[in-house]
């Protein structure tokens, strides 16, 4: 991987301050990648992502394959050029989306046949085919095709893991683009022995980076964290570690604490479009009546464009009136929140204070939870109080 290099600059416990250099620039880690499913982070533009400080954007192979088609993207000069984002890009393999199709897919040793969620048309992904698609798209980081098994089903995970390993080998063989790094994906559900077996097998294949897949899809937070406790130490220390599809702030702090280097998740952008805003004191839903005449910004000490410019009352008005601009302003705030969290995490690791940072983070969340419960009790007693 001559176009790529990865260096760990500092550690604090298992947490790592690192940098991955890619053909489209460096990614300071721990990092969070916004998701641009259809070659576009919903409601935003590349200039917004740059202003927000995003260093890596994820796009979805399954979705781009169906629409507009990977060959069209290739003819348009590749995914970076097509979407106007000249920074680092990652494409997933489509495995997760295909396996989410449930009754619309059929699996065999060679691959998976599925029906499009758009028009029901039949398609087939094999490891070779997915490599063809991802290389046509041309992201800086591509992912192997894997089977994303239900994390609590041991028998399913055992069977799926062997096939996922064979597919990883085939992907490795089929992949040839020197300006694209192909990452392996460790599976095995919540079962430590399966995770270790997977980490060991994939380490042998010598991928330039490793993802932990199949988490945040049904297991408890404790099970997720325990799985990371087992898996991270089994991955090569000199290669980046990617926790796929995880983006709740508390999970990011806990995963970094266990040695994860980067993340992607639709959470901050998706909940933004539902009016749920991330703040240091927890989430608030801007549609709530109590914000109707609130002149404060979403978050008082936030420096994002939304908080610098608008009141909660205005944001609420936009959401109530179904104005598109509201979705955008909420997205800007939530991504700003996530990217500032990553800044803070990197600063804490760099200064050797990550443990204190983590404690303070959880204390704030726990205090907030208590405050919310207290407020709810107050409200209940108020509404039960007899009229004067």
CB of 313 to a second copy, least distance (A): 5
Nearest 5 degrees, angle CA 294-CA 295-CA 300? 100
CB atoms inside a 10 Å sphere around CB 51: 14
Q: Compute φ and ψ for 252, nearest 5 degrees.
A: -65, -45
92 catalytic? Reply is yes
324-343 positions binding a second copy, by CB under 8 A: 324-325, 327-329
Q: SS3 for 72?
A: helix
Judged by beta carbon, residue 110 or residue 294, the one nearer a second copy is 294
| Cα gap 351→231, rounded to integer Å | 26
**Catalytic member of 12, 48, 92, 146:** 92
| Candidate list 13, 26, 68, 150; residue touching a second copy; CB under 8 A | 68
Are the beta carbons of 96 and 187 closer than 8 angstroms?
Answer: no
For the record, the structure tokens of 148 come out as: 């994303």
Q: Compute φ and ψ for 191, nearest 5 degrees.
A: -100, 110
CB of 299 to a second copy, least distance (A): 17
As a 3-state breakdown, the chain gives helix, strand, coil percent values, each rounded to 5, of: 45, 20, 35
CB of 287 to a second copy, least distance (A): 13
Q: Compute φ and ψ for 180, nearest 5 degrees.
A: -135, 130
Part in contact with a second copy (CB under 8 A); list of ranges 14-22, 76-84, 196-204, 359-367: 76-84
**159 belongs to the binding site for a second copy (CB under 8 A):** no
Part in contact with a second copy (CB under 8 A); list of ranges 5-13, 167-175, 318-326, 376-384: 318-326
98-157 positions binding a second copy, by CB under 8 A: none
Instruction: Give, in order, the Cα–Cα distances in Å from 142 to each of 74, 89, 339.
Output: 15, 9, 22
The alpha carbon dihedral of 268, 69, 179, 233 has a sign of positive
Number of residues located near a second copy, criterion CB under 8 A: 38
Binding mask 11-50 for a second copy (x = CB under 8 A): ---------------------------xxxxxxxxxx---
Nearest 5 degrees, angle CA 35-CA 40-CA 83? 125
The alpha carbon dihedral of 23, 24, 28, 31 has a sign of negative
CB of 71 to a second copy, least distance (A): 10
251 catalytic? Reply is no
Judged by beta carbon, residue 66 or residue 202, the one nearer a second copy is 66
Part in contact with a second copy (CB under 8 A); list of ranges 75-83, 132-140, 198-206, 251-259: 75-83
Nearest 5 degrees, angle CA 262-CA 267-CA 270? 140
CB atoms inside a 10 Å sphere around CB 349: 24
| Candidate list 122, 274, 309, 351; residue touching a second copy; CB under 8 A | 309
| Candidate list 106, 237, 292, 296; residue touching a second copy; CB under 8 A | 292
CB of 308 to a second copy, least distance (A): 9
| Cα gap 338→54, rounded to integer Å | 10
Judged by beta carbon, residue 67 or residue 362, the one nearer a second copy is 67
| Candidate list 102, 155, 321, 382; residue touching a second copy; CB under 8 A | 321
| Cα gap 158→173, rounded to integer Å | 24
Judged by beta carbon, residue 332 or residue 341, the one nearer a second copy is 332
Q: Which residues bind a second copy (CB under 8 A)?
A: 38-47, 67-68, 72, 75-77, 82-84, 292-293, 295, 305, 309-311, 313-314, 317-318, 320-321, 323-325, 327-329
């Amino acid at each position: 991987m001559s176009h790529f290099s990865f260096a760990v600059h500092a550690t604090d416990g298992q947490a790592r301050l690192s940098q991955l250099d890619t053909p489209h620039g460096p990614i300071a880690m721990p990092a969070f990648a916004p998701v641009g499913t259809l070659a576009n982070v919903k409601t935003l533009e590349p200039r917004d992502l740059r202003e927000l400080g995003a260093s890596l954007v994820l796009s979805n192979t399954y979705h781009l394959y169906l629409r507009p088609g990977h060959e069209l993207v290739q003819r348009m000069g590749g995914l970076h050029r097509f979407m106007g984002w000249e920074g680092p890009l990652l494409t997933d393999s489509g495995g997760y989306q295909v396996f989410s199709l449930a009754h619309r897919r059929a699996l065999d040793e060679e691959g998976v046949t599925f029906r499009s969620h758009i028009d029901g048309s039949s398609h087939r992904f094999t490891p070779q085919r997915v490599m063809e698609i991802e290389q046509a798209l041309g992201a800086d980081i591509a992912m192997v095709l894997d089977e994303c098994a239900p994390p609590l089903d041991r028998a399913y995970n055992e069977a799926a893991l062997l096939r996922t390993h064979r597919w990883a080998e085939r992907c490795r063989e089929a992949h040839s683009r020197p300006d694209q790094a192909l990452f392996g994906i460790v599976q095995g559900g919540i079962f430590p022995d399966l995770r270790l077996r997977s980490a060991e097998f994939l380490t042998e294949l010598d991928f330039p980076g490793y993802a932990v897949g199949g988490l945040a899809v049904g297991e408890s937070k404790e099970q997720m964290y325990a799985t990371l406790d087992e898996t991270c130490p089994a991955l090569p220390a000199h290669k980046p570690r990617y926790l796929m599809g995880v983006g709740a702030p508390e999970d990011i702090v806990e995963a970094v604490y266990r040695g994860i280097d980067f993340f992607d998740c639709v959470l901050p952008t998706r909940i933004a479009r539902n009016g749920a805003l991330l703040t240091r004191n927890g989430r608030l839903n801007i549609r709530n009546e109590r914000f109707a005449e609130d002149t404060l910004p979403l978050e008082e000490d936030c420096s994002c464009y939304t908080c610098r410019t608008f009141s909660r009352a205005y944001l609420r008005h936009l959401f109530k009136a179904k104005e598109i601009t509201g979705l955008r302003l909420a997205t800007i705030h939530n991504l700003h929140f996530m990217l500032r969290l990553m800044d803070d995490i990197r600063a804490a690791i760099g200064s050797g204070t990550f443990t204190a940072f983590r404690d303070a983070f959880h204390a704030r969340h726990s205090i907030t939870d208590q405050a919310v419960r207290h407020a709810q009790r107050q409200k209940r007693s108020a509404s039960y109080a007899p009229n004067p």
